Amino acid sequence: MLVADMMRPDGHVFLKSEWAPISDYWPAVSFTKRSVGNDLSQRFKPGRDILIYVGTTSELTNDPAHRSRLLSAVVPEPNRIHETKKIIPARSWAWSLRDNGARWPHSLAIVRAASINGPPYPSARELVPKAYSSFAAIENRGWFVEAVGAERGAVMDLEVTPLHLNLAPEVTAYLGLRASLSVDVPISVRQEISRMALLIVDRVKRGGETSVKTNPIRFAPNLSDLTALLTRLWQERQGGACALCGTPIRAGTTNAMMKPSADRIDSANGAYDETNVQITHLACNLAKNEWGLDQFEEWIAVVRGVNDTDSAFY
């Protein structure tokens, strides 16, 4: 397998100085300045481009065989900059704090990786001399550079061995969210899901506060997981229908009664989780909460013209 197999023929080859090859010890590309991550996020396109780790010449690169060498080919997920301590192993973060302080607080998660075959690993000075020398420019300190022309082609021809990385829960949750929203989800539905998720987050923050009455203590996943959960409910479990009355939920409606609403199935349970959340019309949600599920079902049966003696609830 070659580096070229991890990217498109018209893709960009970026280089970044790193102290070690990619591994589960530090499955992220990290930055001192958030602006570096922002720049890479804007320029890097997964599937098109590749990022190459180049061993530094400093003592941080402990193994002399890694210094000034091309070590790894990686694909970062560019759409979110994470806190490094949340997406690498705790022992790795402890090492960083002990020896270097919080030197690399910002990171992009690595979602695909390969080791460049070695040792001996290819020499950056020999294979990509112009790109490598550009690291010395003041404006490129701590930044990344691009290999172009013949140097780009030389990197693409390098042989690599694919690696499997164990990703942190925060990363897998975010990737799940991205995957769920990359499906053919209408923009109006995405907007409604985002609105419901933010309302839940606000309710959780206000839990325990006293207004006219004390708000119950509530719990919810992080915003990414919550959005993914609501997307699954809308698309898969409920098929776009209200969980209480069974009729379609209309995204983007101007009728306040028909707006989508995230409802806790058991109101005594403060958790917004997989087992206790459903999506309903706002009117159905308010009616159930005000008068209880039994009276709500009796009322909806009358609206549908079901006989009082008919115990079925459709």
Report yes or no on 25 lying in a domain: yes
What range defines the domain where residue 14 resides?
3-167
Distances (CA, A) of 64 to 29, 60, 100: 21, 10, 20
Ordered per-residue pLDDT tens for the chain, 314 residues: 999 999 999 999 999 999 999 999 999 999 998 889 889 988 999 889 999 999 998 777 789 999 999 999 999 998 888 899 999 999 999 998 998 888 899 999 999 999 999 899 999 999 999 999 999 898 888 899 999 999 999 999 999 999 999 988 888 877 776 666 655 678 788 889 888 988 898 888 776 544 334 455 677 777 777 888 898 888 888 888 999 998 999 998 999 999 999 999 988 888 888 889 999 999 999 999 999 989 998 898 888 776 554 444 33
Half-sphere CA count of 189, side-chain side, radius 13 A:
20
CA pseudo-torsion sign 293, 296, 301, 304: negative
Please tell me the predicted confidence (pLDDT) of residue 181: 60
Same-domain check for residues 31 and 51: yes
Q: Which stretch of DSSP H or E encloses residue 298?
A: helix 282-303
Residues 215 and 267 in one domain: yes
Q: What predicted TM-score, i.e. pTM, was given to this entire model?
A: 0.61
What integer pLDDT is reported at residue 211 of this predicted model? 38
How far apart, in whole angstroms, are the C-alpha atoms of residue 120 and residue 271?
Answer: 54
Measured distance CA(259)–CA(254) in Å, rounded: 8
- If asked whether residues 8 and 67 sit together in one domain, one would say yes
- Contact criterion met (CB below 8 Å) for 173 and 228: yes
Residue 130 and residue 30 share a domain: yes
What was the pLDDT predicted at 180?
61
Is 255 found in the same domain as 219?
Answer: yes
pLDDT of residue 222: 76
CA–CA distances in Å: residue 191 to residues 86, 186, 269? 28, 9, 27
Report the C-alpha gap between 80 and 44 in whole angstroms. 12
Please report whether residue 284 resides in a domain: yes
Question: Same domain for 228 and 210?
Answer: yes
Domain contains 311 = no
Residue 255: inside a domain, yes or no? Answer: yes
The enclosing H or E element of 160 equals strand 160-163
Match 């009729």 to its residue by tokens. 247
**Are 252 and 146 found together in one domain?**
no
Residue 27 lies in a domain: yes
Question: Which of 167, 193, 215 is at the close of a domain?
Answer: 167
Last residue of a domain, one of 167, 194, 220: 167
Judgement on whether residues 199 and 94 belong to the same structural domain of the protein: no
Pair (26, 150) in one structural domain: yes
Torsion of CA 167, 173, 179, 185, to 10 degrees: -170
Same domain (yes/no): 152, 268: no
Q: Are residues 263 and 117 in the same domain?
A: no
Task: Answer yes or no: is 312 within a domain.
Answer: no
- CA-to-CA distance for 301 and 307, rounded, in angstroms? 8
Both tokens of 53, joined, read 């780790």
- Measured CA to CA in angstroms, residue 253 lies from 73, 250, 256 at distances of 47, 6, 8
Q: How many domains does the chain have?
A: 2
The verdict on residue 313 lying in a domain is no
pLDDT of residue 4: 96
